Amino acid sequence: MTIQKPMSRIYEKISNAGFNQAYIKTLLPEWWDDSLAETPAGKQYASLHLARIFSLAPESLKDDSGSVSFCFDGHHRFKYRVDLGEEDLTVATAIAYSAARIASSNFGIDYDPDVDLDWTSVRAQLLKTSPYVTLPALVRFCHMSGIPVVYIKNFPQKACKMAGMALMCAGRPVIILTQAKKYGFMLFDLAHELGHIAKGHLKASAEGVFVDRKIDSGATADLEGEANSYAFGLMAGKESLRIVPKGRYLTAERLARAAKAYGEENSIDPTHVVLNYGFSLQHWGVATNALKYLCKGNPVDQEIVQRLLMEDIDLDSINDDDLELLTALCGA
């Protein structure tokens, strides 16, 4: 008869909650040793540490407990439901809370609850130093307001992930982004999530969190419509924008040149002009190739967000375990 080791039982509980074994191993600190759980005190410490990593209730990792339960700062809310139930985003939300907790607790800039987030004010401020609202400029604005922007790359295999998330954590708003496309898309996602904060959607929710299963720039109803209008206003100076050619359809190279000219003339990031064109005409192939022309040689959006976050983390206050975990989640 094989006797299961104490740490293996803990891993099994976490795995049953939706975190596959390989993923669990990737988030363990460098000093971790499974023999830690062979004493009662060590097992308790290990359970507390693992619960913190995976946003779990520590008591639910005990041998005599039933299934593992998640422990967030508040309840979470899913507003986009199709065929999948709310529980399908629970694992991704747990990871997002872990990253948000670390970023919020160790951010080097105080949160300003009185900052003016009206899109007209934010846009006017950013256009003082940039020809249009860019991703780096908008991330920096959020950071200077005390709102960390966190890109999460690494989720458990097969886990359903959200498109974006805005939440209150440790006394400040935090924005979570997961966009995998290299150029352009993340700017709208960030403006959309900032819109949820600016429009008071977090305050209106007793849980203080808003999870976007999907970000649909074409949505016009309710809170999603408000967040989209805010995003378009911030990026383009008008709360709705649909860009279509006056003449014949454009090749990727011609679209890139036209987007650059149109963007400079109207103070709109050319990548958004390209994507708006692609969305309006459903010409995604041309739009994708046009982005390659526009962004050739530039760092990808994910690298920009990762770098700016790490620049504003207080490295004097963050402990090594949290820094290692945040780096692993962000893929930095």
Question: Could you give the CA distance from residue 270 to residue 267 in angstroms, rounded to a whole number?
Answer: 9
Q: What is the pLDDT of residue 241?
A: 80
Q: What is the pLDDT of residue 5?
A: 84
Q: What is the pLDDT of residue 209?
A: 85
Angle between helices 185-198 and 270-281 in degrees, nearest 10: 90
Domain ranges in the chain?
Answer: 6-61, 86-241+299-330, 242-298
**Helix, strand, coil percent content, the chain, rounded in steps of 5:** 50, 5, 40
Q: Which two tokens stand for residue 46?
A: 């290990």
> What counts of helices (H) and strands (E) characterise the chain?
14, 4
Question: Could you give the CA distance from residue 212 to residue 196 in angstroms, rounded to a whole number?
Answer: 10
Question: Could you give the CA distance from residue 157 to residue 21 in angstroms, rounded to a whole number?
Answer: 10
Question: Could you give the CA distance from residue 108 to residue 309 in angstroms, rounded to a whole number?
Answer: 10
Question: Could you give the CA distance from residue 313 to residue 22 in angstroms, rounded to a whole number?
Answer: 28
| Identity of residue 101 | R
Q: pTM value?
A: 0.92
Tens-binned pLDDT, residue by residue, of the chain (332 aa): 455 688 999 999 999 889 999 999 999 999 999 999 999 999 999 999 999 999 998 888 987 777 788 888 744 433 333 344 445 888 999 999 999 999 999 999 999 999 999 999 999 999 999 999 999 999 999 999 999 999 999 999 888 999 999 999 989 999 999 999 999 999 999 999 999 999 999 887 667 888 888 887 777 668 889 999 999 999 999 988 887 777 778 899 999 999 999 999 999 999 999 999 999 888 999 999 999 999 999 999 999 999 999 999 999 999 999 999 999 999 97
> E-assigned strands of 89-248?
149-151, 164-169, 172-177, 209-212
Angle between helices 252-266 and 270-281 in degrees, nearest 10: 120
Neighbours of 83 (CB within 10 A): 5
